[in-house]
Amino acid sequence: MNPIQMVDLKSQYQKYKSEIDAAIAEVLETTTYINGPAVKLFQEKLEKYLSVNHVIPCANGTDALQIALMALGLKPGDEVILPAFTYVATAEVAALLGLTVVMTDVDPDTFNITAAHIEAAITDKTKAIVPVHLFGQCCDMEPILAIAKKHNLFVIEDNAQAIGADYSFSDGRKVKSGAMGTVGCTSFYPSKNLGAYGDGGAMYCNDEQLAAELRMIANHGQKRRYYHDMVGVNSRLDSIQAALLEVKLRHLDEFSTARHQAAVFYDRALSGIDGVKIPARQQNSTHVFHQYTLQVPADKRDALQEFLKEKGIPTMIYYPLPLNQQDAFMNCSRLASALPVTEQLCKSVVSLPMHSELDEEQLGYICGAVKAFFG
């Protein structure tokens, strides 16, 4: 059996090596390292894949979120609603811009923020909401978009973990995750579902004026070279990353299918174990399984991790400490309410190995070990 890893980037590379090497070699040959044709090509392919009018590549997912907040003209003191059960980047960029981070609880089954959480957190200072499509499936966006419309709020989708997922609206429309709100933000960090071999990110939207603003901010606040309309940042996706991402994008749906198959294997093997809760599916969304996350009794979690580690099975805790308990946010955030679900999840979640290259032998071994622990 091949060694089990949380994410197996090497086997995936070996599978597509000739395509990827050729794409990288072309950038090296043409020496167009920054803003070369590879970036434009990837941008166009991603626009097509997501069915959006505009993709603006940038340096990483955190920058994407920051530039989105900057482009929407939010001012210090404005409130941004987001879930406390997420990666730090979501809240960090809002705090950096002097915005007030308003943290909500999440749904105990899907781990996602819901319309009800958002509605309860709205004040007359609220300007934006950041639904995070956590672990690979969309938040229930139809009611979230309705609330945003009613209260005139921007919707910034943090789509770092769910690229490729589809959300179905009640009228039958299917829309890609990240393409439903005002602006979608994603990350191409190597372990993400569409991962580069370094850092990368992108923003996407349908509005032409907003796209121009996002592009300008990411490029030092200039539309014309050396003429700066506003204070921006330097945030670029480099051509080598774009070239290999374009190759990987062709295979993204295959990766999602492989991840889904691994998840179905886990579901079958691990459902019905006393005390173990397998991840629930969000109604109306497909799941691209950035993570496969179990909930287990809090007092057994450390022992489970240790037991699996001894058997050569890595696991991770996403996330061990809720954002509301992080020192960084003590003075720039407020809680919409108590966060019992988030606090409980941080004590009880454990993510199993999940990537596109897991085989049945590995999956069987992992499930056997989890069952042995609880049996």
The residues that touch ligand PLP, with contacts defined as CB under 6 A, are 60-62, 86-87, 89-90, 132, 158, 160-161, 187, 189, 199, 201
- Cα distance between residue 287 and residue 53, in whole Å: 24
Of 201, 235, 206, the residue nearest 218 (C-alpha): 235
End-to-end distance of the chain based on CA atoms, in angstroms? 24
Instruction: Please report, to the nearest 10 degrees, the dihedral formed by the alpha carbons of residues 197, 199, 203, 209 taken in order.
Output: -110
Shortest separation between residue 134's beta carbon and ligand PLP, angstroms: 7
By the 8 A CB rule, do 181 and 148 touch? Answer: yes
Shortest separation between residue 19's beta carbon and ligand PLP, angstroms: 23
- When CB distances to ligand PLP are compared, the closest residue is 61
3-state helix, strand, coil in the chain (%, to 5): 45, 20, 40
- Cα distance between residue 178 and residue 156, in whole Å: 8
Specify the residue, 112 or 219, whose C-beta has the smaller distance to ligand PLP: 112
Of 293, 297, 268, the residue nearest 373 (C-alpha): 297
Shortest separation between residue 132's beta carbon and ligand PLP, angstroms: 5
Cis peptide bond upstream of 227, omega within 30: no
By CB atoms closer than 10 A (0-12, 13-18, 19+), residue 129 is: buried
Shortest separation between residue 162's beta carbon and ligand PLP, angstroms: 9
- Cα distance between residue 66 and residue 69, in whole Å: 5
- Cα distance between residue 249 and residue 258, in whole Å: 15
By the 8 A CB rule, do 86 and 94 touch? Answer: no
Specify the residue, 89 or 121, whose C-beta has the smaller distance to ligand PLP: 89
Cis peptide bond upstream of 319, omega within 30: yes
Specify the residue, 90 or 112, whose C-beta has the smaller distance to ligand PLP: 90
Shortest separation between residue 64's beta carbon and ligand PLP, angstroms: 8
- Cα distance between residue 177 and residue 166, in whole Å: 6
Specify the residue, 199 or 270, whose C-beta has the smaller distance to ligand PLP: 199
Specify the residue, 130 or 308, whose C-beta has the smaller distance to ligand PLP: 130
Shortest separation between residue 361's beta carbon and ligand PLP, angstroms: 29
Shortest separation between residue 350's beta carbon and ligand PLP, angstroms: 17
Shortest separation between residue 306's beta carbon and ligand PLP, angstroms: 26
Shortest separation between residue 173's beta carbon and ligand PLP, angstroms: 25
Specify the residue, 193 or 295, whose C-beta has the smaller distance to ligand PLP: 193
Specify the residue, 166 or 199, whose C-beta has the smaller distance to ligand PLP: 199
By CB atoms closer than 10 A (0-12, 13-18, 19+), residue 233 is: middle
What six digits make up the tokens of 311?
């058997």
3-state secondary structure of 100: strand
Specify the residue, 131 or 353, whose C-beta has the smaller distance to ligand PLP: 131
Specify the residue, 7 or 367, whose C-beta has the smaller distance to ligand PLP: 7
